[in-house]
Amino acid sequence: MLVGTALVTLVFAAGVVGWRFLRDDDSSPGGDRATWSSIALVDRVSGDVTLVDADGEVITESPAHGRTGSLFAFDGVLSLANSRTLTVLRDPTDETAEVLTIEMPERGQIAPVRTTERTFLALGPAAGGDVLLVDPVDGVITDIGELASSASPTTPKMYVDTMRTNDTGSMFAIADAANFQTIVVRPDETEPYFLADQPVAVGDDLVATTQTVGLQADISLVDLERSAKATASTQIPAGAIGVMTDDALTFVSVDGGVFRIEPGDDDATRLGAVAVPTGALIQWVHPAADGRRLVVSGDTFEAVVDLEGRTLFTTTFPSAVDTPPPDPTWSCLAVGGSGGYHSIIDLTTGEQLADLSGIDDVIATSADGCIVLADRGGTVELIGTDGTATIGDDVTAVLGPDGHSVVRVTTEGVTEFVPIDDDFTLGDPVDLSGLTGSNTLVTFVPD
């Protein structure tokens, strides 16, 4: 399916780009769509950035940001990354706006940290070490290792995938493997906080931490003065993630039990259970729908539970499936992964919205998770609650946050912007080929 360098780079760019979308907490699919302001065309070798509108007209250009391997687009900000630097164009439409350049750690990785307010970027070495927390909108960089070193007996060793945050992004916690502690930072404060054990979830005032031996864990709800408001023993998966709501922690144990711990508890309250198939193990648990749901996955099953312990959806697969964790802001979920897909479901109700059986892979999703670009035997399809559209055979495509905008590249190297109507009818394509080359990365920049 992938033909030529341009096609490969387009797919890679789409894989690391995300968007924040606007909706009410109780909204279901069919609410306001996410919007975007421009399409970014980035030369992979030079780092030249060209922004165009839906008519293919150039809005602005920002040249010479250096070799670029991946793009991140959130909250109206475009960031370019390579092995050495992260370049943040805080206002990509303004040629005179400040450009923020951050040195990448050796063998560094970048992980978006999603909140309901905005998206942060966490930078750190894959083998562990110092971690930087970047606010691309305000241009604020929090060097967690530097803040913590003066109060740590050993230089902190952190991993970006252990970072947890509250809903609004006002407090972050990350595991320090060198000192067996949790480091807590607030972007508007200059001093960190230190808690025992490892972070599970973060609330507005409390942090849930766990001390695990084997599969047995002591989970505590702790304030920033290290005062434990509750401690209970239970079983949770390694690296488990829970949800903090009004200082109460909801989580899933290794056997599928759904539990809650609140201040004052000395035992976890069992709310319900996920039906784990015989012989199967829970591989991960992740929040979705802005923390109102938990998605639970194993090799041969996937389930969705609410914070009262009710299972809203569950399915099993005939063989092992590599299911990717959801974006925590999605209101829909494409159930399945490499090895088999099931359907798109509404995370609020568990209702099945669209059939995904027979597709080979999900290439990209809309900002709310309710529309996907899928590969079916070399044909790229757009699949959503209102229909299906064929984008093309043997093409590569990038999906806009609204789910109704696509940039596709044909086998002949033609790059086109294609709008899609509400009834999933393709509109007249806009040729962008004059602005792209064989090393062009493409993404949509959200408003």
Q: Which pTM value belongs to this model? A: 0.89
The pLDDT, as a whole number, for residue 95 is 78
Concatenating the DSSP letter of every residue in 332-385 gives EEEEEEBTEEEEEEETTT--EEEE-TT-SEEEEE-TTSSSEEEEETTEEEEEET
pLDDT digits (tens, 9 = 90+) for 3-59: 222 332 333 343 333 333 333 334 445 457 899 999 999 999 999 999 999 999 999
Return the structure tokens found at 262.
């609140």
H or E, element range at 4 = helix 4-16
pLDDT digits (tens, 9 = 90+) for 243-294: 999 899 999 988 899 999 999 999 999 999 999 999 888 999 999 999 999 9
Distance CA(38)–CA(89), nearest Å, equals 13
122 lies in some domain: yes
Q: How much of the chain, in percent, has pLDDT values that exceed 90? A: 80
The pLDDT, as a whole number, for residue 29 is 59
Distances (CA, A) of 276 to 131, 256, 304, 324, 358: 36, 6, 12, 18, 24
3 lies in some domain: no
Q: How much of the chain, in percent, has pLDDT values that exceed 70? A: 92
Please list, in sequence order, all residues whose beta carbon lies within 8 angstroms of the beta carbon of residue 309, skipping any fewer than 6 positions away. Answer: 250, 258, 260, 270, 271, 272, 273
The single residue listed with the structure tokens 């864990």 is 217
Q: Is the dihedral of CA 254, 258, 262, 264 positive or negative?
A: negative
* Farthest-apart Cα atoms in the chain, separation: 66
146 lies in some domain: yes
Interior/surface letters 369-381, b for 16+ CB within 10 angstroms, e for the rest? bbbbbbbeeebbb
Distance CA(185)–CA(169), nearest Å, equals 10
Residue 65 φ/ψ, nearest 5 degrees: -100, 10
174 lies in some domain: yes
The single residue listed with the structure tokens 């090393």 is 439
Task: Single out the residue of 176, 181, 185 nearest to residue 196, CA to CA.
Answer: 181
Domain extent at residue 160: 117-196
350-353 contacts at long range (C-beta below 8 A, 24 or more positions apart): 350/304, 350/312, 350/313, 352/313, 353/29, 353/384, 353/385
The pLDDT, as a whole number, for residue 216 is 77
Mean per-residue pLDDT for 392-409?
96
Distance CA(348)–CA(29), nearest Å, equals 9
| Contact predicate 304/290, CB 8 Å | no
188 lies in some domain: yes
Strand, helix or coil at 13?
A: helix
| Contact predicate 404/34, CB 8 Å | no
97 lies in some domain: no
The pLDDT, as a whole number, for residue 168 is 92
In the predicted structure, residue 1 carries a pLDDT above the cut 60? no
Predicted confidence band of residue 204 (pLDDT cuts 50, 70, 90): very high
Distance CA(286)–CA(284), nearest Å, equals 7
Strand, helix or coil at 205?
A: coil
156 lies in some domain: yes
Q: HSE of 125 in the Cβ direction (CA atoms, 13 Å)? A: 10
Number of domains in the chain: 1
In the predicted structure, residue 238 carries a pLDDT above the cut 90? no
221 lies in some domain: no
The pLDDT, as a whole number, for residue 150 is 84
